[in-house]
Amino acid sequence: MAVRKAGELTSVLPKFVHLNDLACESSGGKVIFATDDWFAPAENLLKRTAPQFIVDAFTEFGKWMDGWETRRKRSAGHDWCIIQLGVPGIIHGFDIDTSYFTGNYAPRISVQAACLNQEKVRNVLPRGERMGTAASDEEMEAIEKLMSDSWIELVPMSKLQPGYTDTCHNYFPVTAQRRWTHIRLNLYPDGGIARMKVYGVGKKDWSSLSLNELVDLASMQNGGVCVGYSDAHFGQPQNLIGIGRAKNMGDGWETARRLDRPPVLKVNDKGILDVPGYEWSIFRLGHSGVIVHVEVDTNHFKGNAPAFCKIDATYLTPEEEVIQKNWTKNLHVAWKTILPDTKLKPHKRHFFDYSLIESHEIFTHVRLIIAPDGGVSRMRLWGFPRNVVLKTESTADFKNTD
């Protein structure tokens, strides 16, 4: 439980960490069961904020830890918990973060998953305050009805590394491309984990939606995902399609200040700042569709909002998206403007209705451009799910089944 050792971060991050965290508390994820929460409750696993360590912090149960930590097990079995995803979807990988758990981390884990309807989990007992407790016989009896020990295994029993700076992130890719609603995290046999990130893409049942029902086509809840960006120095662009309004600046997309800013800034004849460069982020919509309303929210960005923004859109098949290994060099993408250069104000929600949208074609991808740099907290693209004549069979993923 000592302060982590410093070390060089030389490993390359897996691609799936740029996807959405389907289990984060800010996405609606929640723990519905844990065998033991003695030192620290399992809910800490889903915190959005990075783990912290306070040297002299103790509770009546022992050392305060920012994660899930069970007592030293002295009976048969192992500890485990069940997490209900905030956004059901396809999981591409996990980050099991053992930050600050050095002499007390769980030595091994495995992960299982299931796709359950709400009726299945209706009888699970509410958690309440859990620190210093273990699951009761009544809670065990209720959770056993889910038969979670027989759920599909996504990650087999695997070793973890201790929570030092250079070893705390344990990445596990997932190949089973199916929709999941719940996961079971197994600790072997006990110990602590700081955070669990469940990276993937939301998968909505579009068959339940009317073609005339307005929906945020870019929202992570509806399957939207960031597929490329120019810079994310202070905040990741996938935050733009998060649930609800941003809680602070960290819950948005913020870039570094561009070094090609002119020494003296000027505006053009339209009152738009005249700068040579810009930043961008690209999103795949949860469903192809026609965009009719746009919201750009600079909430919390008071001294660092962009001067203006622009939104372009295009239609790409899955194969065409895969080809875009470097979005800046693949200039053959036929972007069409849906929102022209538009001034932004700090700390404000900006709404743009149908009359300001320049193109009402069917699109699958959008590109948000901000200039010259700065931060945006949310982007909403309200529209109607629609299909074009399919270019290839693989575009069936975008097909509305109504």
DSSP 104: S
Domain spanning 15-202: which superfamily? Galactose-binding domain-like (2.60.120.260)
User: For the chain, which residues score pLDDT lower than 70?
Assistant: 1-11, 325, 328-331, 389-402
What six digits make up the tokens of 182?
């719940």
- pLDDT for position 12: 82
pLDDT tens digit sequence for 104-140: 999 999 999 999 998 999 989 999 999 999 999 999 9
Ranges for all domains in the chain classified under CATH 2.60.120.260: 15-202, 206-398
- pLDDT for position 1: 35
pLDDT tens digit sequence for 197-207: 999 999 999 98
- pLDDT for position 332: 75
Nearest-angstrom CA–CA distance, 338 and 333: 15
Q: Is the peptide bond before 189 cis (omega within 30 degrees of 0)?
A: yes
What six digits make up the tokens of 362?
């069917």
Question: Does pTM surpass 0.85?
Answer: yes
Answer for the pair 3, 62: CB distance below 8 angstroms, yes or no.
no
- pLDDT for position 330: 56
Coil/strand/helix, residue 363 = strand
Question: Three-state SS across the chain?
Answer: CCCCCCCCCCCCCCHHHHCEECCCHHHCCEEEEECECCCECHHHHHCCCCCCCCCCCEECCEECCCCEECCCCCCCCCCEEEEEEEEEEEEEEEEEECCCCCCCECCEEEEEEECCCHHHHCCCCCCCCCCCCECCHHHHHHHHHHCHHHCEEEEEEEECCCCCCCCCEEEEECCCCCEEEEEEEEEECCCEECEEEEEEEECCCHHHCCCCCCEECCCHHHCCEEEEECCCCCECHHHHHCCCCCCCHHHCEECCCCCCCCCCCEECCCCCEECCCCEEEEEEEEEEEEEEEEEEECCCCCCCCCCEEEEEEECCCHHHHHHCCCCCCCCCCCCEEEEEEEECCCCCEEEECHHHCCCCCCEEEEEEEEECCCEECEEEEEEEECCCCCCCHHHHHHCCCC
Answer for the pair 200, 91: CB distance below 8 angstroms, yes or no.
yes
CATH number of 206-398: 2.60.120.260
